[in-house]
Structure formats: C-alpha cells, structure tokens
C-alpha cells in the first residue's frame, strides 16, 4: 500500500467532506426523482429545487478546499492536479440540480412509456458517481484499488451510453410533437452526463495515481 500526501491530513478531511456533500446532492436527486416523474413538481408553483441546498453546501466546501490547496504544502504540480480534480467534481452537483430543474422550472412531463428506461439510466449514472467517489477517496488511502475502480466506472459509463442511445431512439419513435421530443432529448442528455462526468473524474484520478506511484 502507498499513500499520497501523508502529512496533509486536513486536506484529506476537506476532500472527504466535499465528496460527502456531492454525494448528498445525488442522494437527494434519487429521493426526489420519483416525484418528478409523477408530475408533482410540474403542478407546484414557485418550487425551490430540493437539490439546491446540497449543491450550495458543496460549493461552500469546494471553496474552502481550493483555499486549502492554494495555501498548502503540496508541490505546484500536485496542487494543480488536485485543483483540476476538484473543479471536475464540481460538475456533478450542478448536473443533479439541472436534472431537477427540468421538472421544477421547465415543467417537463415524461411519457409513461419511457419512465422505466429513464429511471434505469439515472440509477446507472448514480452508480458510476458512487464508484467515482471511491476512486477519489483511495488517493489518500491506498492506490492499489484505483485501477479496478476506474475500470468499473468505465463499464458503467458504457452501459449508460447504450441506455441513452436506446432511450433516444424510443423518444423519436413516439408519436409526439417535435418540440416535446427535443425537450426529452435534452433531459436524456442531462441524465447521461452524470456517467460521463464520473468517467472524466475517475480518469483524472488514475492519471494522478500513475504520476505519484513510486
């Protein structure tokens, strides 16, 4: 086992706190999603996105982490790698908030024929993000599992790609107005983005681990 940045305990704690905030935003998305598909949000007025508070908390933690990285003892290259990693992770809660906004602001209603595939695409995207989070945590604990974890993220992202393509074909096969199909297409793209972002982050972790391994 080889650990990175052994002396930077505070940095490890802050990064773990940030990851916890990010995963909290995803957990809230998971909890909220059934109500989104049921159309409850489309019927509510002046709805505050229920993911927003978690996304906002993650932003606050991210800023503290970036300040810690900028003022810390790491070598410039290490700081640059971790700052880029944190910036990439920041895309995850933003996407979670964006997904709920399709319902809370844009009043999207998902055709019943599509809901099972939509839920499966979200589920796989969330699995990819959870595995990605574990890869980041391993940077401070044990580099050995990272390669296998990254491979799992890649596998889940490939599954999401296949689900996304199938779902888009079904959308455009339905007898619906084109404007509605395009709205659904954008929504499907947003769901698929979670796994794409998780893969990008995991690849960054792999790059850091390879450079830092003795």
Query: Which pLDDT band, with edges at 50, 70 and 90, does 41 fall under?
Result: low
What are the structure tokens assigned to 155, written together? Answer: 């596998």
Q: What is the pLDDT of residues 147-160, one digit of tens each?
A: 999 999 999 999 99
User: Is 132 a residue whose pLDDT tops 70?
Assistant: yes
Residue closest to 90 by CA, chosen among 116, 64, 55 = 55
Q: What is the pLDDT of residues 104-121, one digit of tens each?
A: 888 899 999 999 999 999
For position 72, what pLDDT does the model report?
59
- Quote the pTM value: 0.86
Average pLDDT over residues 174-193: 96
Task: Give the CA radius of gyration of the chain.
Answer: 19
User: Is 42 a residue whose pLDDT tops 60?
Assistant: no
Average pLDDT over residues 82-105: 90
DSSP 72: S
SS3 48: coil
Residues near 118 by beta carbon (within 8 Å), at least 6 away in sequence: 37, 110, 167, 188, 191
- Planar angle of CA 20, 93, 58, nearest 5 degrees: 50
Rounded Cα gap, residues 167 and 125, in angstroms: 14
SS3 7: coil
């Amino acid at each position: 086992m080889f650990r990175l940045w052994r002396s930077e305990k505070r940095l490890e704690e802050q990064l773990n706190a940030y990851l916890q905030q990010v995963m909290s935003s995803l957990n809230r998305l998971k909890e909220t999603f059934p109500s989104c598909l049921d159309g409850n949000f489309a019927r509510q007025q002046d709805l505050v996105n229920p993911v927003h508070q978690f996304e906002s908390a993650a932003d606050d933690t991210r800023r503290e982490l970036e300040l810690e990285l900028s003022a810390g003892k790491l070598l410039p290259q290490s700081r640059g790698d971790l700052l880029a990693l944190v910036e990439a992770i920041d895309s995850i809660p933003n996407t979670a908030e964006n997904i709920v906004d399709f319902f809370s602001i844009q009043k999207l209603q998902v055709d019943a024929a599509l809901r099972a595939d939509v839920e499966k695409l979200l589920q796989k995207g969330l699995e990819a993000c959870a595995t990605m989070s574990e890869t980041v945590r391993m940077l401070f604990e044990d580099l050995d599992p990272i390669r296998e974890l990254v491979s799992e993220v890649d596998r889940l992202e490939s599954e999401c790609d296949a689900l996304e393509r199938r779902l888009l074909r079904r959308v455009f096969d339905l007898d619906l107005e084109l404007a509605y199909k395009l709205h659904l297409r954008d929504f499907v793209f947003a769901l698929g983005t979670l796994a794409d972002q998780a893969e990008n982050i995991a690849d960054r972790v792999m790059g850091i681990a390879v450079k830092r391994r003795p």
